[in-house]
Structure 1
Amino acid sequence: MKRITSLLQVTEADRGAFAAIGNFDGVHRGHQRVLEMTRAAAGRLGAPLAVLTFEPHPREVFRAGEPPFRLMNAEARAHRLERVGVDILYQLPFDKPLYGLTDTEFCQSVLVDGLGVRGVSVGADFRYGKGRTGDVSTLTAAGAQFGFAVEVARLLGLERGPERVSSTAIRKALSDGEPRKAAAMLGHWQRIEGPVIHGEKRGRKLGFPTANMDISAIHQPRYGVYAVLVEVVTGRYAGHYHGVASVGVRPMFGENQPNIETHIFDFDGDLYGEHLSVGLVEYLRPERRFAGVEALIAQMKEDSAAARRILVATPDPYRPVAEPD
């Protein structure tokens, strides 16, 4: 997948794609519906499949200071989009020159002059342009005016129940400690991605070495212990593993910086600086303090045994166990 982060980087070879437009936070099943529609349209035209998204997320610009809400950072989003077969990712800076464009100016300057799109796909609730004045009707009119096709995907609901698939609903499921419910909407396990950072190395002293990752910039799942599927994305140990992870602020040791500490089963290697992708499969228990280190170790053994049992019954590392059709 080619990744373009500025209109100035666009070459003639990068023009003429059929592009799905949106933030694609989580790359959930609603997003995947848009991508599949885009793939079909691109195939009919013999055009590359592209995604047009923005960084930072517009909400981070207009509602700065609110708690972190993103399901994934830009690197994780790019990783997921590449996995679903996107050819080109246009990840444009969401800055004042861009968000100051009217809906007509956006279509002219970005879609036509900047990217030369053959067509675009959006969700039915898509809004764009200064003051969010643009919608699917104005986009369709712009397509007719400027000569690009427009496809609109209907909003996707869960097969069981009235709740619509959305990043908001997924965040709620994760906050409630229901990663399988989140996975049913995502179409894949919720994965926390990033580099392994140095910690206090307490886990190694306790007999449970962990790979630590910062989660302060993304939406916080319910704090506690999870059975997890781990992918080491880079380095000599690249591959797929089972493990158990603690998400939270480590109340046993009086710390308050949120992170995820992942113990990979039957693994002994140096992962500092490597990129990990940790999939949340099942919530085991909440964070809590223990009377002492021995009690903590005993609980960690119980957590590991429970996680092993769960993960053995999770046959496919890439899809949720109960993903709806």
Structure 2
Amino acid sequence: MTVFHRNETRQPLPDALRGGVIAIGNFDGVHRGHQSVLSRALDEAQARGVPALVLTFEPHPRSVFRPDQPVFRLTPAPLKARLLEGMGFSAVIEYPFDRTFSEITASDFIRTVLMEWLHASHVVTGFDFHFGKGREGGPAFLMAAGGENGFGVTLVDAFRDENASVISSSHIRAMLASGDVVGAAGLLGYRYTVAAEVIGGKKLGRTLGYPTANMRLPPEVELRNGIYAVRFRRPDGSLYDAVASFGKRPTVTSNGEALLETFLFDFSGDLYGEVSSVSFFGHLRDELKFDGLESLVVQMKQDDAEARALLAGVRPLGEIDRQIAF
């Protein structure tokens, strides 16, 4: 799959990708609601015999307008592209979003992006999609523009879960902030996953018999501190059941930075420098401060056993989950 980054969106689109079906949206999380839009685009592209592309925006518009309050991204751009590739899209266009772009009119967006650059034959988006300066372009505007410029438009209604609630990225973020990774997975359609480089640490875990792969997540990540049953995937695709701690390690430090520390079951080797991913299957307990290392190790053994038991019975939630966590 081709991913067009910020500087590449100013170059002509390859001929093989012109005239495709374009799914438009931020799609942070690629959750089940997003998947209903994305699947409709894939079906439309297959029926027409043309490529299916995703047009998304980087960075997240909210982070541009409120740089002091960066958005907790459920799926940073590389992970989002990986999920979209798994769904079957031919290309992802990460269009540069900045204040200058936010000032272009809805008509100019249609003309310069959809027509002159993408040569869109059909556009699929959510029923509440707005675009252009002051959000002047809405569903009616898009439908009219399609009629005038010769591209079709499909607007997809809000997707509701089994409780008839609309699925949203903000709701999923709130679930993760409370530690409810199981509930979040139900809305995402796959286990919440992070990816980062494995970095060096103080190697205390190794002296305790629990060497860990340490990762530094973006500061805006609002995952609840605690112990989790997880799966760890290396760049070569190998997958390991594991138990992970996310937090500031209050037993061994008084002012540590938040780290994700993962103990891989049945593994020995060097992981430093690898960009790996961790998928979350269950929150076992909150982060605690112990009286000393001995009581910490006793609890770690219990966490180890509980994580193994939980992971022994898991099954994929769907094809995306199978690709990233199984």
Verify same fold: TM over 0.5: yes
Alignment of 1:12-91 (within 5 A): 12-66=15-69, 68-91=71-94
- Could you tell me which amino acid in structure 1 is paired with residue 4 of structure 2? I
- The TM-score with structure 1 as length reference comes to 0.93
Q: Give distance in 2, aligned partners of 1:141 and 1:256.
A: 55
Secondary structure of the structure 1 residue equivalent to 2:284: strand
The yes-or-no answer on 1:120 pairing with 2:123 is yes
- Could you tell me which amino acid in structure 1 is paired with residue 90 of structure 2? D
- Deviating more after overlay: 93-102 vs 298-307: 93-102
Secondary structure of the structure 2 residue equivalent to 1:215: coil
- Could you tell me which amino acid in structure 2 is paired with residue 15 of structure 1? R
Q: Give distance in 2, aligned partners of 1:265 and 1:255.
A: 29
| Pairwise CA distance, 1:275 | 2.0
| Pairwise CA distance, 1:145 | 1.3
Inter-CA distance 133–249: structure 2 relative to 1 (3 Å threshold): farther
| Pairwise CA distance, 1:317 | 8.0
Partner of 1:176: 178
Q: Give distance in 2, aligned partners of 1:293 and 1:275.
A: 30
8 Å contact kept, 2:189–2:318: no
Inter-CA distance 286–67: structure 2 relative to 1 (3 Å threshold): farther
Partner of 1:163: 165
The yes-or-no answer on 1:269 pairing with 2:269 is yes
- Could you tell me which amino acid in structure 2 is paired with residue 183 of structure 1? A
Q: Give distance in 2, aligned partners of 1:180 and 1:88.
A: 30
- Could you tell me which amino acid in structure 2 is paired with residue 262 of structure 1? T
Structure 1 residues 79-114: Cα deviation after superposition (integer angstroms, max 9, x where no partner): 111111111111111123322211111111111111
Q: Give distance in 1, aligned partners of 2:31 and 2:78.
A: 16
Identity of counterpart residues, as a percentage?
42
Partner of 2:242: 243
Partner of 2:258: 258
The yes-or-no answer on 1:206 pairing with 2:208 is yes
- Could you tell me which amino acid in structure 1 is paired with residue 76 of structure 2? N
| Pairwise CA distance, 1:36 | 0.7
Structure 2 unmatched ranges of 5 or more: none
- Could you tell me which amino acid in structure 1 is paired with residue 232 of structure 2? V
8 Å contact kept, 2:123–2:153: yes
| Pairwise CA distance, 1:294 | 0.9
Partner of 2:111: 108
The yes-or-no answer on 1:293 pairing with 2:293 is yes
- Could you tell me which amino acid in structure 2 is paired with residue 290 of structure 1? F
Secondary structure of the structure 1 residue equivalent to 2:295: helix
Structure 1 residues 48-103: Cα deviation after superposition (integer angstroms, max 9, x where no partner): 11100111110110121115421121111111111111111111111233222111
RMSD between superposed Cα atoms in Å: 1.7
8 Å contact kept, 1:29–1:165: yes
Structure 1 residues 24-49: Cα deviation after superposition (integer angstroms, max 9, x where no partner): 11110011111110011111111111
Secondary structure of the structure 1 residue equivalent to 2:131: coil
Partner of 1:192: 194
Q: Give distance in 1, aligned partners of 2:133 and 2:257.
A: 36
Deviating above 6 A after TM superposition, structure 1's stretches of 4 or more consecutive aligned residues are 317-321
Structure 1 unmatched ranges of 5 or more: none
Inter-CA distance 312–121: structure 2 relative to 1 (3 Å threshold): same
8 Å contact kept, 1:213–1:261: yes
- Could you tell me which amino acid in structure 1 is paired with residue 242 of structure 2? G
Secondary structure of the structure 2 residue equivalent to 1:152: strand
- Deviating more after overlay: 7-16 vs 222-231: 7-16
Q: Give distance in 2, aligned partners of 1:194 and 1:281.
A: 18
Inter-CA distance 219–132: structure 2 relative to 1 (3 Å threshold): farther
Q: Give distance in 2, aligned partners of 1:21 and 1:81.
A: 13
The yes-or-no answer on 1:230 pairing with 2:232 is yes
Structure 1 residues 157-181: Cα deviation after superposition (integer angstroms, max 9, x where no partner): 1112x43111011111111211111
Inter-CA distance 318–208: structure 2 relative to 1 (3 Å threshold): farther
8 Å contact kept, 2:60–2:71: no
Q: Give distance in 2, aligned partners of 1:304 and 1:19.
A: 45
8 Å contact kept, 1:25–1:77: yes
Inter-CA distance 186–132: structure 2 relative to 1 (3 Å threshold): same
Q: Give distance in 1, aligned partners of 2:136 and 2:256.
A: 41
Q: Give distance in 2, aligned partners of 1:131 and 1:219.
A: 29
Partner of 1:143: 146
Q: Give distance in 1, aligned partners of 2:19 and 2:202.
A: 50
Partner of 2:283: 283
